[in-house]
Amino acid sequence: MNDSRRRRTAAASCLAVTGVLLAAGCGGEASSGTSTTSELKGTPVKVMVWAPEDTQGSAQPGVRLTAQAYEKWINDNGGIKGGPLKVLTCNEKNEPDEAEKCAQQAVAEKVVAVVGSYSLAGDRYMPILEKAGIPYIGGTGVSAAEFSSPMSFPVNGGTPVVFAAHGKQLVDEGCKKISGVRYDVAAAAIVSKFLTLGVTAAGGAAPKDLKVPVTATDLAPQVAAATKDADCVSVILGTHSDLFVTSYVQSGADTQLGSVVGNLTPELAESTGGASSPLEGSAITGYYPPVSDASWKDFVEAAEGSKDIDTTNGANETAWVAFKVFTEAAKTLPSITSKALVDELNTTDGIDTGGLTPKLTWQESTALPMEGMGRIHNTTATELTIRDGKIEWAESGSTFVDVRKLLTAKASG
């Protein structure tokens, strides 16, 4: 990618790490031309998914492809209550106006739910879904509306949980002097806030907060500042984390690196030496188990043969989890409607995702008791690492780490 394009896309890319996403802007119904689908005799169940594609910002075409792979997989396995799942798609282009149009199409198409979508414009589309009573299951986990709207049903804890957990993981792994490197934009400042909360609540000293101009392409100055008097660096630059790593390798530094999933990737490890990469052993915090875990078996099989579905991509994984949640909830309903689905999600004792998450519930009693975050119920994260160039559990036998007490104790204290 040339430098001018990096500059145009840097701000959008750093938002995308929080990650861990109109007729003209939307696709039509996804193709479901399998013989199995045609044999399903039950009532079709129509949902929508949207994500940015064909954009200079952070495109996520894998979200649509994952949704379509799930559609084929579930229909090949009997559909939902004997009826085919029909996935409508919409390209929100990383533009709030287009995201709003996607929501308007969802209302016009009378979809049962919007599932597993990626967009940073929740404050624009959630009011439209609220008015229509359409639930939003899964999602990016970054916009304020996703954390507060009664129609939002997140499957993970979004930015607050994963970055607080990341701070805790760094401290638990022995980091005493930590630097956090992020873009100089408001959304990344929020990321820094929760990283600091996690570090200090776990007993560590507040990390240095180093800001990178969105136009920067040579990060040698930031590498020097981050590694000086620090034993660990958290790299929070999204798809442009390679800029930092390139300068880091050139500097000859040996400070331990870490981040949340989607920043220091297996591809980046491979390009910098594989098992001998400086990323080997990095502390990586995620929402879900590594893709090598048996809980991802169905997703891996459904994506097999598609070179465009990255099963390690957090947005794609969230889309798959969201569709699993939708299916589990919908199959319990006598009649699958938006209202019945919302009622089921709000009262369920726990939806089983097959080990991809703890059992999920959105009852009032399980909400995170922090202002503006009442729709966050799953406060768990996973502690991972890069081993032999791949994302794996940090330790054998690892499981979900719940940071609810960490978040609430610090907030109240």
Q: Give the pLDDT score at 249.
A: 95
Structure token digits, residue 178: 């930590």
Least confident of 112-121, 160-169, 370-379, 403-412: 403-412
pLDDT of amino acid 259: 97
User: In terms of domains, do 118 and 53 share one?
Assistant: yes
User: pTM of the predicted model, to two decimals?
Assistant: 0.88
C-alpha to C-alpha distance for 336 and 322, rounded to whole angstroms:
16
Q: 178-214: per-residue pLDDT in tens?
A: 999 999 988 788 899 999 999 999 999 999 999 999 8
Q: CATH number of the domain at 66, please.
A: 3.40.50.2300
The residue type at 3: D
Structure tokens at 9: 């896309």
Query: Could you read off the pLDDT of 68-94 as tens digits, one per residue?
Result: 999 999 999 999 999 999 999 999 999
Residue 143 placed within a domain: yes
If asked whether residues 186 and 111 sit together in one domain, one would say no
Residue 388, in any domain of the structure? no
In a domain? residue 11: yes
User: What are the residues whose beta carbons fall under 8 Å from the beta carbon of 295, sequence distance 6 or more?
Assistant: 289, 353, 354, 355, 356
CB 73 within 8 A of CB 310: no
H or E segment to which residue 38 belongs: helix 35-39
Per-residue model confidence (pLDDT) at position 383: 98
User: What's the total number of domains in the chain?
Assistant: 2
164 contacts 142 by C-beta, under 8 angstroms: no
17: confidence class by pLDDT, cuts 50, 70, 90: very low
330/145 Cα distance (integer angstroms): 24
216 with 118, same domain: the answer is: no
> Does residue 95 share a domain with residue 23?
yes
pLDDT score at 55: 84
Instruction: Compare 32 and 239 and report the one with higher pLDDT.
Output: 239
- For 178, the domain range is 159-286
Mean pLDDT of 114-135: 96
User: Does 95 reside within a domain?
Assistant: yes
In a domain, 92, yes or no: yes
Confidence of residue 378 (pLDDT cuts 50, 70, 90): very high
Residues 163 and 255 in one domain: yes
Whether residues 11 and 153 fall in one domain: yes
Domain identity same for 20 and 128: yes
- Residue 226: inside a domain: yes
Query: How far is C-alpha 52 from the chain's CA centre?
Result: 14
Domain co-membership, 14 together with 143: yes
Q: Averaged over 301-308, what is the pLDDT?
A: 92
